[in-house]
Structure 1
Amino acid sequence: MRFLLTAAAIITLVPVASAADVKYQVRDTADLVDVCDTSTRAPDITTALAFCHGFLTGSAHFYYAGVPASSRFACAPNPAPSRSDVMNGFVQWTRANPQYMSEPAVETLFRYLGETYPCP
């Protein structure tokens, strides 16, 4: 109950974003690649990269938390690659595999991770 009250208090303090405030939308793989591609050198590249890193990291954490180790098809090597290395590899891999650009971004991300970092 205390958690619910705390969550409700926080939600009321967070401003509601209108559609005009939405900077990045990831509707498919092409959208994610556009945000993650550092070659674009957008004026807000720092924000774009932070969004990309957050998407990739959040997806990975969700996967590793929800899929038992015995069922995983993508495994982080030791030592693990940096977020930037994964991001850049994902962008390059996806550009070389354009048939996935209209697929859901998280599906393409895990297709890349499974091919690049398969479990032993």
Structure 2
Amino acid sequence: MKTVLAAALLASGVAVSGAWAAEGITIRTATAGELADTCAANPREPAADARINFCEGFAQGAIDVEMHHAGEHKLFCFPHPSPTREETMHQFVSWVRAMPDRRSMPSDEGLFKFLAERYPCK
């Protein structure tokens, strides 16, 4: 139950630290900028694995929920074969950093806007 609650809190952009997250780190993803910062973790830094795994898990969860609710009116359509999560999230980081005003967007809104631009439905 504690794990499910922690996942729900993290997915909503709430910072989680201590026993519920990787020891000694706080992950915030309320904004696209915070999500991009999490996704851009340097693999050589402490807790980078936790940040990168959270980034990709957050994105996958948000995308799955959006696709489930979208029905026939999808905001974005992945090509076949689909790009890797890692590749897509690296592109998201670059997209956020290209225009500083994108940093303040809600994280899911920013992610979906990026995906709609990158992978439009035809």
Residue pair 2:17, 2:27 contacting (<8 A) in 1 also: no
The 1:91–1:51 alpha-carbon spacing in structure 2 relative to 1, beyond 3 Å, is: same
Please give the root-mean-square deviation of Cα atoms over the aligned residues, in Å: 2.0
Matches within 5 A, 1:101-120: 101-120=103-122
Query: What are the within-5 Å matches in structure 2 for residues 70-109 of structure 1?
Result: 71-109=73-111
Structure 1 alignment gaps of length 5 or more = 1-10
Q: For 1:12-60, what per-residue CA distance to the aligned partner results, in whole angstroms no more than 9, with x for missing partners?
A: xx3787x652521212111111100144743111111100001100011
What is the alpha-carbon distance in structure 2 between the residues aligned to residue 41 and residue 55 of structure 1? 21
Give the share of equivalent positions with the same residue, in percent: 31
User: What residue is the counterpart of 2:66 in the other structure?
Assistant: 63
CA distance change for structure 1 residues 67 and 42 in 2, over 3 Å: closer, same or farther? Answer: same
Which structure is larger by alpha-carbon Rg, 1 or 2?
A: 1
Bigger mean CA offset, 38-47 vs 54-63: 38-47
CA deviation profile, 1:76-111 (whole Å, cap 9, x unmatched): 111100000111000011100211111101000011
Cα shift at 1:117:
0.2
Q: TM-score, normalised by structure 1?
A: 0.79
CA distance in structure 1 between the partners assigned to 2:80 and 2:17 by the alignment:
42
Mapped to 1, the partners of 2:17 and 2:87 lie a distance apart of: 32
TM-score under structure 2 length normalisation: 0.78
Point out where structure 2 has 5 or more consecutive residues left out of the alignment.
Answer: 7-15
- Structure number with higher relative contact order (C-alpha < 8 Å, ≥ 6 residues apart): 1
Q: How many residues are paired up?
A: 106
